[in-house]
Amino acid sequence: MINFRSVPIFIVSYNRLICLQLLIAKLEKDGYTNLIIVDNASTNKSLLDYLHSLPYKVHFLEKNYGHLVLWESRLFEDIINSTYYVLTDPDVIPIDECPSDYVEHFYDILKLYPEKTKVGFSLKIDDLPEHNPNKYDLIRWESFFYENKLSQKPLYYDADVDTTFALYRPGYPKHFYNAIRTGFPYTARHLGWYTDTENLSDEDELYFKSANSSFSSYDDSAISQIRNSTIKKIAEKQENFSLYKLIKRVIKLERLTNTTFGEIFRITFFLLSKKIRQHYKCVRRKSIIQE
């Protein structure tokens, strides 16, 4: 029988002290004891001092492997290949209303869906601050993950999860994003979304200058990815989809002012090449079926 309070919880650390302290305090309060901090070559001295003071296992890496460090560093294969484990960024913290048995709750759901890689928290989006300039981009993006309900009691959804707090099956996740998100009260806050970018602390300044981009981060590159992916998801939902009408609606005339003819040519070539490849795939598929 699994002791869920001793399941390995890997926390990826990089130049964020305050949120890491909050997460560890929450996990300790909820009774979790097997915390493993994986530090991606942080340079924040206060954070490093704190890490050295912890009673938990801390791995100080010599380079920044990014958010996939658990697999790309190949240092933890003996653990992740043999047992269920949790991976999380340091700034994802269960809300106060969340029961403390969340790892067991994730496990119970994961056992019901053998095709899924992991089960993790949904992210709270109904209290994002107005000082977040990307508030409505984030709300629109996250709203996609509340569309495919798998169960009402308990509440959970068929939805992608990146490196926010989730329980993984043993072994390498071949389909990394294939996941389930739990609904309220098993919800977490993404603390990075509450940062006031107009009044950054020294720690925030250091982090945002050096952090790798991911969908769970807060930099311009990540937000651009979210906007592009949002457009893609909305387009996929359209019936009688017309690429011409989509471009006509999305791209305003003023936007073309700074667009070169070379860029327009590259776009046209890209679409044409994709169409040709898709055509030959269909022809080949029909040929195989006929044989």
Angle, CA 60 vertex, CA 86 and CA 37 arms, to 5° = 25
For 257, the 3-state DSSP assignment is helix
pTM: 0.77
Nearest to 117 by CA among 186, 175, 182, 181: 175
CB atoms within 10 A of CB 137: 15
pLDDT value for 289: 59
DSSP 6-40: GS-EEEEESS--HHHHHHHHHHHHTT---EEEEE-
> What are the structure tokens assigned to 2, written together?
């699994």
Q: What DSSP element (H or E) covers 53?
A: helix 45-53
Nearest to 157 by CA among 149, 165, 168: 149
Write down the domain spans for the chain. 4-193, 219-289
For 67, the 3-state DSSP assignment is helix
pLDDT value for 166: 98
| Amino acid (one-letter) located at 47 | L
Question: Which CATH number applies to 4-193: 3.90.550, 3.30.70, 1.10.10, 3.50.50?
Answer: 3.90.550
Residue by residue, pLDDT tens for the chain (291 residues) are 899 999 999 999 999 999 999 999 999 999 999 999 999 999 999 999 999 999 999 999 999 999 899 999 999 999 999 999 999 999 999 999 999 999 999 999 999 999 999 999 999 999 999 988 888 888 888 888 898 999 999 999 999 999 999 999 998 888 899 999 999 999 999 998 988 777 766 666 666 665 554 444 556 667 777 777 666 666 666 666 677 776 776 677 776 777 788 887 887 888 788 778 887 777 777 666 565
pLDDT value for 235: 65
> What are the structure tokens assigned to 36, written together?
């493993």
